[in-house]
Chain A
Amino acid sequence: MRDIPRQTTLRQWDQRYEQMQKAGVAQPSYGGLLSRHIEDGDTRLLKLRYDNSAAALRLWNFLLTEEDRLREARDRGKKIVGTMKDLGTVPVMAYSLDNVVAFYPDGAWWTPCVMELNAGLLSIADSLGIDESFCPVRAMLGAFVTGSRFPIPELLICSVGATCDDFSAIAQRLDGLGYPILWWEIPHRRTPEPGEESVKLPGGFSAPRCQVEFVKAELQRVRKALEEFAGQHLSEEKLSAGIKKANQVRRLLADLRRLVFGARLCPMPALEMLVAEMLAIHFCSDRDEAIAVLKELLDEVRERIKEGTGLLRDDAARIFWVNPVADLQVMNLLEDCGGRICGTEYMFTHALDEIPENLPAMEALAQMALADPMVGSLADRASRICTEIRRFDAEAVVISRIPGASHCALEGQVIGEIVQAELDVPVLEIEVPSLTDSIAQALRTRLEALVEAVRERRKK
Chain B
Amino acid sequence: MKRIIYSCPYVPAEWIAAHGLQPSRIIPDPAASSAVRRPADCRKTGAGASPIGPVEGLCPYVRAFLNEAINDKRACGVVVTTVCDQMRRGFDVLTRQCNIASFLMNVPRTWQTFAAQKLYLDELGRLSLFLVRLGGNSPTPDALAEVMLQYDAARRSIRASRAYLSARQYAEAIAALGQEGPAQGRKSEMGRGVPLAIIGGPLTRGDFDIFDIVEQSGGKIVLDATETGERGMCGPFDRRRLHEDPLTELANAYFGGIQDASRRPNSELYRWLGHELAARAVRGIIFRRYVWCDTWHAELQRLKEWTDLSVLDIDVAGDTDTERRRWQNRIRAFLETLT
Contacts and interface: CB of A to CB of B under 8 A. Distances in A.
Interface of A: 128-130, 133-134, 158, 160-166, 168-173, 175-176, 181, 183-185, 187-188, 190, 193, 210, 214, 217-218, 221, 377-379, 401, 403-411, 413-414, 417, 431
A402 B198 CA distance: 32
Interface in B83-130: 84-86, 88-93, 96, 104, 106, 108-110, 113, 115-116, 119, 122, 126, 129
B57 interface: yes
Nearest to B270: A176
Contacts of B59: 409
A125 to B, nearest CB: 10
A376 to B, nearest CB: 10
Contacts of B297: 129, 133-134, 169
A214 B110 CA distance: 13
A187 B108 contact: yes
A165 B84 contact: yes
A161 B82 contact: yes
Given A187-B119, A410-B58, A417-B48, A168 B109 contact: yes
A210 B115 CA distance: 11
B58 A161 contact: no
B64 to A, nearest CB: 14
A214 B266 contact: no
A402 to B, nearest CB: 9
Given A133-B297, A172-B264, A410 B93 contact: yes
A403 B108 CA distance: 26
Contacts of A128: 301
Interface residues on B, range: 35 or more
Q: Is chain B's binding surface mostly helix, strand, loop or mixed?
A: helix
A355 to B, nearest CB: 23
B291 interface: yes
B55 interface: yes
A187 B85 CA distance: 12
B115 A165 contact: no
Contacts of B291: 133
Most chain B CB within 10 A, of A158, A175, A181, A185, is at A185
Contacts of B126: 193
A171 B57 CA distance: 20
Nearest to B313: A129
B265 interface: yes
A185 B89 contact: no
B90 A410 contact: yes
B88 A409 contact: no
Nearest to A184: B110
Closest 9 CB pairs of A and B: A129-B301, A169-B298, A409-B57, A409-B58, A165-B85, A378-B92, A166-B294, A183-B264, A406-B85
Interface string B252-278: 000000000110111000000000000
B110 A163 contact: no
Contacts of A158: 264
Contacts of B90: 410
B94 to A, nearest CB: 10
Given A160-B264, A378-B89, A409-B89, A221 B113 contact: yes
Contacts of B57: 401, 403-406, 408-409
Nearest to B86: A406
B19 to A, nearest CB: 17
A161 B115 contact: no
A128 B116 CA distance: 30
Contact of A406 (B116, B119, B294): B294
A176 B302 contact: yes
Given A168-B262, A168-B264, A217-B115, 12 more contacts: A130-B298, A133-B294, A169-B294, A183-B265, A185-B108, A193-B129, A214-B115, A221-B113, A403-B57, A405-B57, A410-B92, A414-B93
B47 to A, nearest CB: 10
